[in-house]
Amino acid sequence: MNRQTESQNQPGKEKHGGSSAPEPFYAPVLRRKRGRVSPPSGGSGVHTPRAEKPSAPGFLSAVEGRRLTAGIPSCAGDPVFPALSPEAQKMTEELGGILSAVFPLDKKKRKAMLHDIRNLSRMLTDSRGERPLGYMNRPANLSAYAHYFLWWNIVRLARLFAGLQPGSSLPDHFAAVDLGSGPLTAVCALWIACPALREKAVTWYCLDISREALSAGEEIFRRLSASSGAAVRWRIVRIRGEIGVGLKEKAALVISANVFNELPDPARAAERTCGFRVQADFDDGNGSKASRVSSAAAGAFSLVSSYAAANCEILLVEPGNPDGGALVSGFRKQALTAGFVPVSPCPHTGKCPFPGSRRKKWCHFAFPSASAPAELLSLSKQAGLPKERAALSFLYAVRNGAKRPQKMPDIKKREETRGGHRAAPDAGVFPVRILSEKIRLPGGATGRYGCSPAGMVLLAAERGFSDGSPAQFLDGLPFGALVPLVFPAAELPVPDEAARDPVSGAAVIGLVSSRKDFRRRPADRRGDRSRTISRTAGGRRGGRGDKAR
């Protein structure tokens, strides 16, 4: 066979004036879009379609069950960690100078402090049971705690308080309790993040077993409030004692920040100080972890609620690890039983779908540590404890209308105002709190786990390349964002036969543009069930999101 004949028999080439020329690079794309077959082989006169490899099904078409779709809103609101104001950011950065003034360090003491920070980190985590009860009474430990742990906790809490604004709906005069206050960490963070709260006359009852920590914390707060230039209407009342000691009055705001993770047995502490036995919601009689977590949550709620007034707000913050998330979830269950309504982060009042027990996902939130003060980041690196992100678990709840949960924005009205688009008349708003990083799904799709009134859901979007596509919207959501999806009211609540994620069992909701008709297609109305997810589509997933799951 000569070269010319060989070229004539090659598919995808045509003769033009006796010479063969390759087809344009976009020809296969056009053929697929128009449903055309491949061009005939030269000289054969027979039209043979080109053999194509069967492509793997996309994630949304591979999962089994009724396919649900929701329109993306114009924006996502109520972030867990909003950016600090310039004033608050400046106060956070200048906190290092205040700490150095209260706990002065020379070169020798600073070198020794790095060793003390590492020892404290080990005592507060791995060797928690071996930590002495009055470890904060030792000057070296208190100094190391203030320079490192106090500063990091204020960075975390200030970002959280900036979004929650606790106490903003309370009267001009009220009493507040900071349980396990230490060096007044939560009080200092509130002063930084909540300018409106500074204008109220608040009596702060700060409880801790360490007199030295309370004394140092009051000095830190005095210098911090003076640096802001605002009039100080807050009154600090230091109370040395265990959590549960009685006060003269009930509090309208009760805060517990990073307390119960340090208590070896909150249930026993509640029995000892409150005088009644704590009943756990789950007790298998064998002392299992689930039983211990349930008892700890019941004990923690008993201690916190013993200080709460009839109309009050409670705020519980724990580390963002599985144990902290499990404690917060159990605490939430107790609070709902006692008449509290969660304001944040929960978008519903049903059963918690992120209990953090028995290898299940836990409720926690994180933000990158790059926004932390440079001096604090440098100290963390020198101590051998660098942080890439700051995480926590929390619950903010109210009772008897002290503060109503935030309403979701009017998505229909906003969309009509922005672009003249009218959403489907039977559409409703479906709030979802994002609780994972971006997850790579089979078929090139992207996903994020979230908490919703229907329990755990997996928001999924096929990969798109245009600006404003659902995949780009999903990728750009910050961890903890509250997304008010435009959802067909006919599909609320999410039906049991909805498509389920084969890894977690979460209901799968596919995202589409809010400017498109997201109502179900006729095949879906007939109860069309897609193929069972294959090994390729339902196998192991990669990406950074796996850590958050």
Q: Using alpha carbons, list the distances in angstroms from residue 212 to 135, 143, 151, 183, 219.
A: 11, 11, 17, 8, 11
- How far apart CA 258 and CA 127 sit, in angstroms, is 16
Per-residue tens of pLDDT for the chain, all 549 residues: 443 433 344 444 444 444 445 555 555 655 555 554 444 444 444 444 444 444 445 788 888 888 888 888 877 777 899 999 999 999 999 999 999 999 998 888 888 999 999 988 887 776 555 666 667 778 888 999 999 999 999 999 999 999 999 999 999 999 999 999 999 999 999 999 999 999 999 999 999 999 999 999 999 999 999 998 889 999 999 999 988 888 989 999 999 999 888 776 665 655 555 544 444 444 444 445 566 777 888 888 999 999 999 999 999 999 998 888 999 999 999 999 999 999 999 999 999 999 887 667 899 999 999 999 999 999 999 999 988 899 999 999 999 865 544 444 443 343 333 333 334 445 678 899 999 999 989 888 899 999 999 899 999 998 765 556 888 888 889 899 999 888 777 676 788 888 999 888 999 999 887 544 444 333 333 333 333 333 333 344 444 443 433
- How far apart CA 490 and CA 68 sit, in angstroms, is 11
Q: Which two tokens stand for residue 263?
A: 């208590």
Whole-prediction pTM value?
A: 0.77
**Cα-based angle 412, 413, 414 (whole degrees, multiple of 5):** 95
Regarding beta strands 482-488 and 427-434, do their DSSP bridges make them parallel or antiparallel, or are they unpaired? antiparallel
Q: Which two tokens stand for residue 266?
A: 């909150």
